Amino acid sequence: MAFDGRMNIIEINDDEKTVYFETWKPKKITGTKMGGIFGVSDFSTPFKVACELARIYPGDPPNKYIDAGNILEPVLRDYLGHSVTRMLAGPLGVPEGSKIVVEPPVEKEMCQYDHFHDNDMFGGMVDGYITLDGKRNSILEIKTSGNMEKWLDADGNVTVVPESYMMQASLYAELSHLDRIVFLVGFLQEDDYRWPTRWKPTPENTSIIIVDKMPDIRKKMEEAEEWFREYVVNGYTPEWTDKDAELMKYLRAKPKPQKRR
């Protein structure tokens, strides 16, 4: 039986709304954790991130939105790859005669689920790169969304990147020593989440946004590292909130120690 991280919980303090724990090998801060640390994620909180990094919570179970994103990431990458010159040469200002290519990421099983082993604090997995004449030019970040509204600017154009996604991609751009990010977004209807394998990317249901990485991402990384050392290294969480109610139910169901045979 796999080890249950809740065994490392020392105390759940209801007065402080804080969980104390022991941790031997905390996880690295990935791009998806950055938004949660800074409280700008729709799917996470500082408390949840601390629990995940401390390995007392394994992460949210799969759901139809996560499944659709995983299924459609390679579909969207192939879609861009087949028409990359037409779709990106102009927006990226690629000189005539240059070769632009979508570089797929190293398979997660081949890299132990981390593309940045040279960094002890930050890690994660990119969705790919855009290369120009054999040299990496941009990070490729692929997203699926059922809410186009949050990507629209005041004129109704898809130009706005949600802050948590911007932090994620900017972290990976910084770790890859690149300054540019290409977001490829596939917009799904609710029925598409029931049968994601039937969804096909088209110019009508996809958009590309090209942006420079956040100018203050290094400062954000420093703040995230300070947050990590304050909470995870010292063995306690930030305060939980009402958003963490389901997670608290999970943590309170702390398993009994397993008997040794």
Of the two residues 113 and 211, the one the predictor is more confident about is 211
pLDDT of 252 higher than 80: yes
Closest CA to 115 of 128, 124, 104, 102: 124
* Bridge partners, 103 (sequence order): 129
**pLDDT tens per residue, range 90-134:** 999 999 889 999 999 999 888 888 999 999 999 999 999 999 999
Q: Which two tokens stand for residue 9?
A: 């919980």
The Cα–Cα gap between 48 and 238 comes to 9
Helices (H) and strands (E) in the chain — how many of each?
8, 9
The mean predicted confidence, pLDDT, of the chain is 94
* Average pLDDT for 56-82: 95
**pLDDT tens per residue, range 123-176:** 999 999 999 999 999 999 999 999 999 999 999 999 999 999 999 999 999 999
The Cα–Cα gap between 63 and 43 comes to 12
Buried b (16+ CB within 10 A) or exposed e, 83-115: ebeebbeeebebeeeeebebbebeeeeeeeebb
The CA-based diameter of the chain, rounded to the nearest angstrom, is: 69
pLDDT of 207 higher than 80: yes
Task: Return the number of other C-beta atoms located less than 10 Å from residue 29's C-beta.
Answer: 24
Pick the CATH number of 64-218 from 3.40.50, 3.55.50, 3.90.320, 1.10.287: 3.90.320
* Whole-number percent of the chain with pLDDT over 70: 97
* Average pLDDT for 14-40: 96
What's the pLDDT at 255?
73
Residues 57, 149 contacting (CB under 8 angstroms): no
Q: What are phi and psi of 189, to 5 degrees?
A: -90, 165
**pLDDT tens per residue, range 28-42:** 999 999 999 999 999
Residue spans of the domains in the chain: they are: 5-60+235-252, 64-218
- The H or E element spanning position 82 is helix 64-82
What's the pLDDT at 109?
87
What's the pLDDT at 46?
98
Q: How far is CA 186 from CA 68, 109, 144, 148, 220, in A?
A: 11, 25, 5, 9, 28
The Cα–Cα gap between 205 and 143 comes to 12
What's the pLDDT at 2?
66
* Average pLDDT for 195-210: 97
The Cα–Cα gap between 19 and 13 comes to 6
